[in-house]
Amino acid sequence: MGWMADETGLDKCQANYVPLTPLSHLNRAARVFPDHDAVVYGDTVMDYKTYHRRVTQLASALTKAGVEPGEVVATLLPNTPAQCEAAFGVPACGAVLNTINIRLDVDTVAYIFDHGGAKVVITDSQFLPLTMEAIAQMEGPAPLVIEVPDPVAGVPGLGEQMDYEDFLLAGDTDFEWIMPADEWESLALNYTSGTTGRPKGVVYHHRGAYLMTMGTVISWRMTLHPRFMAIVPLFHCNGWNHTWMMPVLGGTVVCCRDITAAAIYDGIADRGVTHFGGAPIVLNMIVNAVDGDRKTFDHTVEVFTAGAPPAPATLAAIGEMGFNITQVYGLTETYGHVTECIWNDAWDTLHQEEQSSIKARQGVAFPMMEDVTVVDEQAQQVPMDAQTQGEIVMRGNSVMKGYYKNPEATTKAFANGYFHSEDLAIQHPDGYIQIADRAKDIIISGGENISSVEVEGALMHHPAVLLCAVVAKPDDKWGETPCAFIELKDGATATEAEMIAHTKTRLASFKCPKTVVFQELPKTSTGKIQKFELRTFAKTL
């Protein structure tokens, strides 16, 4: 018998148990930080009491419009205040938030409307034509459409649908939020990129999002009142859950509709931005900004970067400019980042290039995760020898509930009690994970495995290269050979022979590209290079 053999009367009750939800953060912030800046966009500054009131009105208006708990409310919005308000207002009426990628084609948006069963769609005026075309293609019932003009960006309303501000006015300011009775209730529905077929609907629960907001504060070493710039699209993993996190610390979301170097420098210098997240393409944008876009600032800006392993050369350059970069890693299925490259002070004495190479590692698990590791095809731990490749797998509270209406895919993803990422990586002796490639991006040439990430890293050291991507090109002799697609810096020139020769100074000869194409690279809304398009093109070369 143990100490607690008799637990009579030790039950959960309202006094000692409340389901975890990020909604609690904004309720608290409205009481604790009522007059502090909550959301900034252009010259518009919204404090927490106003933010909370507008979210309450949105939740009430949605309820009056017939939205029932558990139903889906979709958005087609850039990083504007309306998207921040929807992050809280939609779940505050018990509904499930479905933020949709504004760059998708009409057919895919129509599929998402149908598959998710959207009851209401809140759309920016710029994307109202896309919204209406998609609704026209739907097989199911059409959702109610709410239009959000954006006078800050000079995007006027078209006046064809209910105006967002008018819709809010229909809501009651004393509406009582519908908090989850169970923290496992669905909070959000996010669709994967769908590059190999129809996108899958990833379902988040309230518990996972709440713990993401707590784990991120710890890992980002945040204190009260950070000023966070929303650069990662708020439709992508709900902005890595950062909008839900800001009220925890009375932080400020600085909205950024159009991501440019000038906008980022303006936010840092003029708005005091202290934190932001972004793909490596954003780091490149900052490093290569023209003088007219640059501004000076006297504080360190903390940056989470993810989406692809950043080139060590980029990390070295931006580290000298007042930015402290932390590499993180995750997927839509994990609410965003779930590993981080925590810095070890023992690395301070290493050469800068070695430090940058370490910073490019994906690292170790965030606090809210139970385990993140690398396994072989038999689901066994790979040797931590910095050489043996395996698949990154993870388990913990910030893993999705599953794929909506797709139990087969869910079962496959959760095999052996872990979520399977399909990302290939090695593990160092200290346990730090380093991505080698997506499984589909490995190039097998003459029986040898070549990591496209490694080749890209070598190319990025060339001073003329802005961005690059390496994919497999079919080859009669070798099966596949590396084909490099390179986007040059403005005004720079280079030749195929020059690039191949450059990589030979850093790589074994068989790993070097055999073909080099100079062109602008196709990118997703989050700045990821769309390799599937390049693979298709490489087959024609």
CATH class for domain 442-538?
A: alpha beta
Give the 3-state secondary structure of 247-311: HHHCCEEEECCCCCHHHHHHHHHHHCCCEEEECHHHHHHHHCCCHHHCCCCCCCEEEEECCCCCC
pLDDT value at residue 195: 46
Contact assessment for residue 275 and residue 98, using Cβ atoms and an 8 Å cutoff:
no
d(CA 492, CA 235): 34
d(CA 157, CA 160): 8
- By CB neighbour count within 10 A (0-12 exposed, 13-18 middle, 19+ buried), where does 400 fall? buried
pTM of the shown model:
0.86
Nearest to 108 by CA among 133, 72, 73: 133
Residue type, 201: G
Domains 23-208 and 442-538 share a fold: no
Residue 417: both structure tokens together: 């009690």
Strand order in the sheet with 433-438: 369-375, 390-396, 419-427, 433-438
Q: 259-439 in CATH: which number?
A: 3.40.50.12780
Residue 326 pairs in a beta bridge with 304
Contact assessment for residue 132 and residue 223, using Cβ atoms and an 8 Å cutoff:
no
Q: Which residue has the tokens 């990154």?
A: 392
Residue type, 369: M
Residue-wise pLDDT for 237-264, tens only, equals 999 999 999 999 999 999 999 999 999 9
Q: 23-208 in CATH: which number?
A: 3.40.50.980
Contact assessment for residue 504 and residue 512, using Cβ atoms and an 8 Å cutoff:
yes
Residue 388: both structure tokens together: 């043996």
Nearest to 332 by CA among 30, 100, 70, 48: 100
* Cα angle: 104, vertex 107, 110; to 5 degrees: 90
Q: Which residue has the tokens 């055999």?
A: 514
Cα of first residue to Cα of last residue in the chain, in angstroms, is 73
DSSP state of 140: S
pLDDT value at residue 177: 98
Domain chopping of the chain, boundaries: 23-208, 259-439, 442-538
Residue 348: both structure tokens together: 């301070």
Contact assessment for residue 135 and residue 109, using Cβ atoms and an 8 Å cutoff:
no
Contact assessment for residue 159 and residue 165, using Cβ atoms and an 8 Å cutoff:
no
Distance of CA 152 to the CA centre of its chain: 25
pLDDT in tens, the chain (541 residues): 466 778 888 999 999 999 999 999 999 999 999 999 999 999 999 999 999 999 999 999 999 999 999 999 999 999 999 999 999 999 999 999 999 999 888 988 999 999 999 999 999 999 999 999 999 999 999 999 999 999 999 999 999 999 999 999 999 999 999 999 999 999 999 998 754 468 899 999 999 999 999 999 999 999 999 999 999 999 999 999 999 999 999 999 999 999 999 999 999 999 999 999 998 889 989 999 999 999 999 999 999 998 766 777 888 889 889 999 999 999 999 999 999 999 999 999 999 889 988 988 999 999 999 999 999 999 999 999 999 999 999 999 999 999 999 999 999 999 999 999 988 899 999 999 998 767 677 787 876 778 888 899 899 999 999 999 999 998 877 878 999 999 999 999 999 999 999 999 988 788 899 999 999 999 877 777 888 899 999 999 9
Residue 471 pairs in a beta bridge with 483
Contact assessment for residue 370 and residue 399, using Cβ atoms and an 8 Å cutoff:
no
Handedness of CA 506, 355, 224, 16 (dihedral sign): positive
d(CA 126, CA 453): 36
Contacts 24+ apart (CB under 8 A), 342-349: 342/219, 344/430
